[in-house]
Amino acid sequence: MAAVTELSFLLFALINNIHAAEQIIVQQERWSYTFKLPNNTNSCLISRSVGEEKLVLWNTSDLWSINSSVPEDLKQRLVSSVETSSYTILNLTHSDSGPYREECWTEGNVTHDNNITITVCSLIISFGFTVIFGETVDLSCEGAADNLDVQWLKRDSRYEQETWSRVFGDNMTSVMDNVRGRYQVVTNTSALRVSNVRNTDLTRYRCLVMYQQQCIFSNTVELILQSEIIYGSVGETAVLPCTVADSTDEQPPRWSNLLSGQELHNQTVPSVDQNYSLVFSSLMLKHSGLYSCAVPKRWQQYYLVVCPKFGPPAVELFSEGEEVTLRCRDWRKGTLQNWFIKSHRTEGRIFSVTYKSMSRVSRYNNDGTLVISNMSVGDAGEYWCVVNDLYDYQCVSTERTVLVYNKPFGI
């Protein structure tokens, strides 16, 4: 019997610890924060810890006690809504930063227990950062400088509201998502380095720049999967994989064509296979569009451009170190040319040829030519020139050139 009692106590302690897990909320100075409590409770208490003292902000059984210890300047900024069980602190200041606790009881039993840490920052900015799976990226911490404490947070997907968890513990090893060793802070810049980007990394990260225990600046970086451009010709098969979906998602991914505003989950053409890939069995010109595969808090996009049937490709030889000029013969006024590459290096997939993806692109001209300098063996592949109409951006024609490395004689 004693063993059963001890086991019950341990289970209660474990459940209580889960409910009391810390949530980190970051708000800008002069903004507000609202505590939303459950409706089906007899009484609730919202308190804040100031050192060893417990400051009671709201007690729903005695909302505005005459003996309340809340400072007058804070009491003037407290607003309650009994109908919605919400309680708000207006015009936040740095002095409002700190640990808070929500506790609710029903018939004498604790039914809600929540620990919240609110951090008030002087300024918050946000921006996005596009990535591809498998690469390593550095997320900059704007405003970081010497002698300033920097803290990195990651959005916690367990909560609907924008709640954060610490990326690192005190020993600077990652404590989230079993990514130990994949997250590092760059010493000189305080940037967060994310290695081998995966599904679970596609979220928001927040850098807090602290000075004398106050947050003076915060920037949020959202990792977004880079949109991929896929070109196909009429009659071909095209498969758009949904790589952001995984077994932890509660709902299956939803496909939509963002240009037409049409959801595709009930469509037969294109169809969605068992792996949630979008499949076009026989491409038509009208299938061109911007397609999105979305699960909660993650998505990826494809620009699918369908061109008239491709003709046979031209073949050109190149040597190490030379300069190659590719020409888009169908280019003319009123059209726009785009260059793409399909090679073993890209595993047979088609990617844009840009200064970012290919450092040796010396000129990307407006006369239908592409100039690549200092050619190497890895530059071999199939290069596509796609001509689009400037008015409706429909594909007018496609030309392909296969660049083949010419091995030196005797090797």
Selection from 394, 339, 342 nearest residue 369 by Cα: 339
Structural domain count, the chain: 4
Q: Facing residues of 369 across strands?
A: 327
Distance CA 308, CA 236 (A): 10
Of residues 184 and 5, which shows the higher confidence score?
Answer: 184
Per-residue pLDDT tens for 252-282? 888 988 877 777 765 667 888 888 899 999 9
pLDDT at position 20 is: 46
In a domain, 33, yes or no: yes
Token pair of 86, please? Answer: 């919400």
- Taking residues 349-368, report their average pLDDT: 61
Range in 7-11, 195-199, 285-289, 303-307 with the lowest mean pLDDT: 7-11
Q: Position 41: which residue type? A: T
Residue 403 CB neighbours (<10 A): 21
- Whether the CB-CB separation of 276 and 232 falls below 8 Å is answered with no
Per-residue pLDDT tens for 38-85? 888 888 899 998 888 888 898 887 765 556 778 888 888 999 887 778
Distance CA 246, CA 300 (A): 13
Per-residue pLDDT tens for 214-236? 999 999 999 988 888 888 889 98
pLDDT at position 217 is: 92
- Whether the CB-CB separation of 191 and 140 falls below 8 Å is answered with yes
Residues 101 and 31 grouped into a single domain: yes
Residues 401 and 332 grouped into a single domain: yes
- Interior/surface letters 213-223, b for 16+ CB within 10 angstroms, e for the rest: eebbbbbbbbb
Distance CA 137, CA 377 (A): 26
Residues 87 and 30 grouped into a single domain: yes
* Percentage above 70 pLDDT, the chain: 81
- Annotate 186-214 with DSSP letters as a single string: -TTT-PEEE-S--GGG-SEEEEEEEETTE
In a domain, 10, yes or no: no
Q: Of 287, 307, 327, at which residue does a domain stop?
A: 307
Q: Of 208, 225, 242, at which residue does a domain stop?
A: 225
Q: What is the CATH number of the domain that holds 165?
A: 2.60.40.10
Range in 7-11, 321-325, 367-371, 404-408 with the lowest mean pLDDT: 7-11
In a domain, 9, yes or no: no
Selection from 378, 389, 383, 274 nearest residue 330 by Cα: 389
Residues 344 and 364 grouped into a single domain: yes
Q: Of 255, 288, 307, at which residue does a domain stop?
A: 307
Provide the CB-side half-sphere exposure for 356 (13 A, CA): 4
Residues 291 and 350 grouped into a single domain: no
The phi, psi pair for 301, rounded to 5°, reads -130, 150
Parent domain of 176: 124-225
pLDDT at position 195 is: 92
Residue 254 CB neighbours (<10 A): 16
pLDDT at position 199 is: 84
The phi, psi pair for 118, rounded to 5°, reads -100, 130
pLDDT at position 194 is: 94
pLDDT at position 379 is: 84
Distance CA 91, CA 79 (A): 11
pLDDT at position 178 is: 45
The phi, psi pair for 191, rounded to 5°, reads -70, 155
